[in-house]
Amino acid sequence: MTTTKPVAVLGGGSFGTALANLLAGNRQRVLLWMRDEQQAAYMREHGKNPRYLKDVPLLKGIEPVTDLAASLVACDMVFVALPSTALRAVLEPYADILSSKLLISTTKGIEADTFKLMSQILEDIAPQARIGVLSGPNLAREIAEHALTASVIASEDADLCAQVQLVLHGDTFRVYASADRFGVELGGALKNVYAIIAGMAVAMGMGENTRSMLITRALAEMTRFAVKLGANPMTFLGLAGVGDLVVTCSSVKSRNYQIGYALGEGLSLEQAVERLGEVAEGVHTIKVLKQKAEELGVYMPLVTGLYAVLFDGYTMKQVVGGLMLGEPKTEVDFISTEGFGV
């Protein structure tokens, strides 16, 4: 089915580009908004993004544009694929126009001063808007190359979920609905931190047992944190939790993993970020997460360890030693096992 109005995608990076292609593949007209007119002009002329996913042809139906107000006015449904550090500043001036829209955040980050997730920022900006979150194991390059992929659209608004499923669902992209917006969004933001640790471990020559331990203990840690914030732990067993954690901790295509790998090779954080030249949200998330975990008294040894390496001058060896020799713990301590006969 084709909606009459175009769909807006905000952000001309890897994910905005992949999402625009997905929508256009489903015969939607797409206004792909980016800030740089030179980039948009190149894309209109050559049918490719000159900076991100450079070799991926843009499908017919995508119009690269730079007038944000006009794009928002023209569309009812708006996907936001901007970095977390830019989202509020970019959208705040357009609060009035956004009020009547369906706004779907795809940004996996946490705001530094407020600890707000991106859909909560959208809610601040446009309280009247209908809001959702798209999240899951969704590496942009694989989506662009039509790898079979699943994602989750999460919103309290079931009609919004259905509309998003309609425009995105296709041969290679399957979209599940969830009513747990907070849990789905939190999972996507938290896993980036653990992908940095996983990349670091691989660069340092650690094995598959180690990676498996890391991913599983990361899931325990992020779920423990989420439960403290009142989230539903079961959501973390789905695509937007364990699904996204596994892909991001296992793939060299993940930018957060690449940051970790560079750190493991001995680069400084600044050097790693510069070499990547793309967004790696975990670099910001680790700071706010460490602070929030302390504030709430949540035990997050992996977060604390990564923070110590990145900002307090500890070596990986020191941190790993501390983690392994720590007091023995119970395994699944974050979900009540009452009633399971355990």
Ligand X SMILES: O=C(CO)COP(=O)(O)O
Q: Which residue type sits at 21? A: N
List beta partners, residue 10.
33, 80
**Binding positions for ligand X, 217-246, rule CB under 6 A:** 244
Determine the Cα angle at 157 with ends 152 and 162, to 5°: 55
Which residue positions form the known binding site?
14-15, 35, 52, 108, 136, 140, 191, 244, 254-256, 279, 281
Q: Does 12 bind ligand NDP (CB under 6 A)?
A: yes
Q: Which does 26 bind (CB under 5 to 8 A by kind): ligand NDP, ligand X, none?
A: none
Q: Does 105 bind ligand X (CB under 6 A)?
A: no
Active centre residues (catalytic): 191
Which residue positions form the known binding site for NADPH?
14-15, 35, 52, 108, 140, 255, 279, 281
Q: Which does 228 bind (CB under 5 to 8 A by kind): ligand X, ligand NDP, none?
A: none
Question: What is the token pair recorded at 155?
Answer: 């919103």
Distance of alpha carbon 14 from alpha carbon 40, whole angstroms: 14
Stretch that binds ligand NDP, among 203-211, 221-229, 278-286, 287-295 (CB under 6 A): 278-286
Q: Does 18 bind ligand X (CB under 6 A)?
A: no
214: left (phi over 0), alpha (psi -120 to 50) or beta: alpha
Site string for ligand NDP, 129-168 (x = CB under 6 A): ---------xxx----------------------------
Stretch that binds ligand X, among 64-72, 229-237, 247-255, 260-268 (CB under 6 A): 247-255
Q: Which residue type sits at 208? A: E
Q: Which does 16 bind (CB under 5 to 8 A by kind): ligand X, ligand NDP, none?
A: ligand NDP
Which residue positions form the known binding site for sn-glycerol 3-phosphate?
108, 136, 191, 244, 254-256
Q: Does 195 bind ligand X (CB under 6 A)?
A: yes
Q: How far is the CB of 333 from ligand X (least distance, A)?
A: 27
Show Cβ contacts of residue 225 under 8 Å, excluding neighbours closer than 6 positions: 190, 289, 292, 293, 296, 298, 300
State which of residues 28, 71, 235, 256 lies at the interface with ligand X (CB under 6 A).
256
The helix (H) or strand (E) run that includes residue 206 is none
Q: How far is the CB of 88 from ligand NDP (least distance, A)?
A: 10
Report the 10 Å Cβ neighbour count for 307. 21
State which of residues 30, 34, 129, 168 lies at the interface with ligand NDP (CB under 6 A).
34
Say if CB 211 and CB 302 are below 8 A apart: no
Distance of alpha carbon 64 from alpha carbon 32, whole angstroms: 5
Say if CB 310 and CB 287 are below 8 A apart: no
**Binding positions for ligand NDP, 42-101, rule CB under 6 A:** 51-52, 81-84, 86, 90
State which of residues 21, 26, 71, 107 lies at the interface with ligand NDP (CB under 6 A).
107
Q: Does 278 bind ligand NDP (CB under 6 A)?
A: yes
Exposed e or buried b per residue across 87-96, where buried means at least 16 C-beta atoms within 10 angstroms of its C-beta: bbebbeebee
The helix (H) or strand (E) run that includes residue 152 is strand 149-154
Q: Does 185 bind ligand X (CB under 6 A)?
A: no
Question: What is the token pair recorded at 180?
Answer: 């747990």
Question: What is the token pair recorded at 255?
Answer: 């930018």
Q: Which is nearer to ligand X, 233 or 241 (CB)?
A: 241
Q: Which is nearer to ligand NDP, 143 or 319 (CB)?
A: 143
Distance of alpha carbon 8 from alpha carbon 23, whole angstroms: 10
> Using CA atoms in the order 92, 95, 101, 103, what is the torsion angle rounded to 10 degrees?
20
Distance of alpha carbon 208 from alpha carbon 210, whole angstroms: 5
Residues at the interface with ligand NDP (CB under 6 A): 11-16, 34-36, 51-52, 81-84, 86, 90, 106-109, 138-140, 278-279, 281
Residues that bind ligand X (CB under 6 A): 108, 137-139, 192, 195, 244, 247-248, 254-256
